[in-house]
Amino acid sequence: MSAGPGQAAPAISVPRGAAIALAVALAGTLLMAAPIAQAPSERVFGDTATLVSGDPNADTLVVIDQFRTGHVGPPYLQPMTDLPGRALAALFGPVVAYNLVILSTFPFAAAAGYLLARHVAGSHLAALVAGLVYAFLPFHVMQAAGHPHVAQTHWLPLYFLALWRCVDRPQPARAALLVAAAAAVTLSNFYGGWIAAVLTPVALLGYGLVAARAGAQAWLRVAKTALVLGGVAVGTLLLAVRFAPQALHDPQALAVQRSELFVWSAKWWSGLVPPVEHPVLGPGVRAFWARHGLTDVFEQQLSLGWGALLLAAVPLALALRGRRDHAGVRHAPALLLLGGAAVVCSLSPERSVGALTFVRPSALLYELTPMFRAYARFGVVTGLMTALLAGAGFELLWRRNARGRACAALLLGLTAFEFWPGPPWRWRDVLPTAAHRWLAAQPGPLRVLDCVPPVRYSDLLALPLLGHDASLLGPADDDCGEPGLADKLRAAAWTHVVVRDGSRALAALDTGGLAEGLVRGPRFDDAAVFRVAAGPPRPHVAELRGFFTREYKGALSWRWMSRAATLEIAGPGAGSGVVLELELRAFPRARRVSWFLDDRPQGTLDVGIDWDRHELLLGPLGRGRTRLLLVSQEGSVVADHELHNGDPRPLAIAVGRWSFRGGL
């Protein structure tokens, strides 16, 4: 029902207002994450270009694997996030569950921010603006790309709301809500609980100073609330004794290096710099961070937005002038104090200016809690306080006059531009390459060898999501550049091979130099697929021992050995005599090489400094393995002594291509 002439519009209730904030944020989330909504079981939120380099998908896949297996090693279980993730994984699969856990935080944060802003600003309009600004803070958007637990930002405003409502009226019901909120913020994300615990004294006293002006009983209410928090602290200690005793008895066992705090702490200007993923400003921002020696800037994305800061300045300016007729203005000093404390806590342990060294709170906090390193995450509270002040500032301008409305709209539009999360859309495939995605779409059963060593944690965790039996290279394999690779793979029942872009073997396979028995499949920008052709079992080299890493020059491939090395040869069983044709080359001069089969001497080979093929009669090979030992009669020579190239390896013989005849 609309208001009649001379009547004020009916106030929007708090539940309805929170629902509106949630709905608007949900629409924004669906727009921001449209590619994920199109393929929720294949894609996750965030661009690898802005994640921590080296293994950008590791944190994401660790959580997906935890949702899939239902196992989190102690003391890292964060049940308010992990248990819903497991339940969703049982219903929809682990990747969909991960996406739901991540993307739901945006509308939840909007609703939670709305509730807190409605409490401190007393206005639907101010709360709606504050909730939406808080939901899409660059900190939140960035953390959602890789840290689903840290992205649970909606619990912090609910905690501060419960805290301040308890200060207003410390009744049993409100005390119980405070205990529940403290448990939720801690059990959803240990960093969130730690941040809340550190900043609680500032939040309590700062709000208490504001509340003290309302009556003589204000400090008594603060004391009662502090007593409730003391009970929360005791309960937390008891839980830690039960579920994470190591954190209390031996905190150094979980400690990070103190030097890491300087890397993962914020710069004082981090909140003033636009987000690095911004579609317009991003390149300039990345260049700015590079000039300051930072390339991994994931934790530095604390931008508050100049539009939001200017809006936040409005209630602060009115508070300085002594205005008290607006709730947002009355609470502005307390919000500024809490936001400023969060900024100080987000900085590195110390800073030297000339001969002076300034010690900061993180230095003390590290001594108390050495398992935390990412102090920049305190910036989420600065963002929350800025959003609350900005919401109040927007409403004050909007209610003023036409010029004020224009100014409010302009500053809110500037904030939206600064926070705009796309396009270009932020998403990435949960699988490592497009070749893996193609294989995942193929009907089974397939057995896939991914030609990378088990170095990156994300490669190991991604394979169970392929939908087929898949493995990485084993400890006996260097890469997929071995001659006769197809025979080896066929014997082990592999059906397909993925060779990634940048692999040394890919060029040789593409030119056909090593691809006999492998059928070329689709070629993608980041990898290629080869199919292992069917055929009878053939002799093949199953394992190499005593060789250095494989080297390449175009389609050529070889491995150096020192004085002695072994080729483990697997035979197909009874059959005709087997001949091994072996390319050899000596360093730095011609050599005589003795060769043995299962420790039985077979003869000698004259190996020159140029590549030459040698035929070794192996005879019938059984179904087991036969050891072919090559021993240079002259000792090895350090490469650097001859070539002055810094190569410290002692070299004697290079083994190039090989092939087998007979044995069928």
Which mean pLDDT values do the consecutive 10-residue runs of the chain (664 residues) have?
Answer: 47 94 96 92 85 81 94 87 96 96 97 97 96 97 93 98 94 95 95 96 90 69 90 84 71 84 91 90 90 85 95 96 89 96 95 82 92 94 98 96 95 94 80 94 92 88 92 79 88 92 77 72 92 89 92 86 95 77 96 95 96 93 88 95 95 94 72
| CA distances, 560 to each of 280, 404, 545 (Å) | 51, 77, 11
Q: Give span(s): CATH 2.60.120.260, the chain.
A: 540-661
User: What CATH number belongs to 540-661?
Assistant: 2.60.120.260
Q: 597 exposed, middle or buried (CB, 10 Å; 0-12, 13-18, 19+)?
A: middle
Angle at 330 (CA atoms; ends 327, 336), nearest 5 degrees: 115
| pLDDT at residue 6, rounded to an integer | 44
DSSP secondary structure string for all residues of 120-164: HH--HHHHHHHHHHHHT-HHHHHHHTT-TTTT-TTHHHHHHHHHH
| pLDDT at residue 607, rounded to an integer | 97
Interatomic CA distance for residues 654 and 458, integer angstroms: 34
Supply 408's token pair: 């409010």
Interatomic CA distance for residues 158 and 173, integer angstroms: 15
| pLDDT at residue 2, rounded to an integer | 43
Interatomic CA distance for residues 603 and 626, integer angstroms: 16
CB atoms within 10 A of CB 469: 15
Say whether 398 sits in a helix, a strand or coil.
helix
**Which one of 3.40.190, 3.30.70, 1.10.3470, 3.30.2320 gives the CATH number of domain 444-532?**
3.40.190
Distance of CA 36 to the CA centre of its chain: 17
Interatomic CA distance for residues 55 and 45, integer angstroms: 16
Q: Give span(s): CATH 3.40.190, the chain.
A: 444-532
| pLDDT at residue 397, rounded to an integer | 96
Supply 562's token pair: 């020192």
Interatomic CA distance for residues 238 and 635, integer angstroms: 66
| Structural contact between residues 256 and 370, judged by C-beta atoms closer than 8 angstroms | yes
Amino acid at 347: L
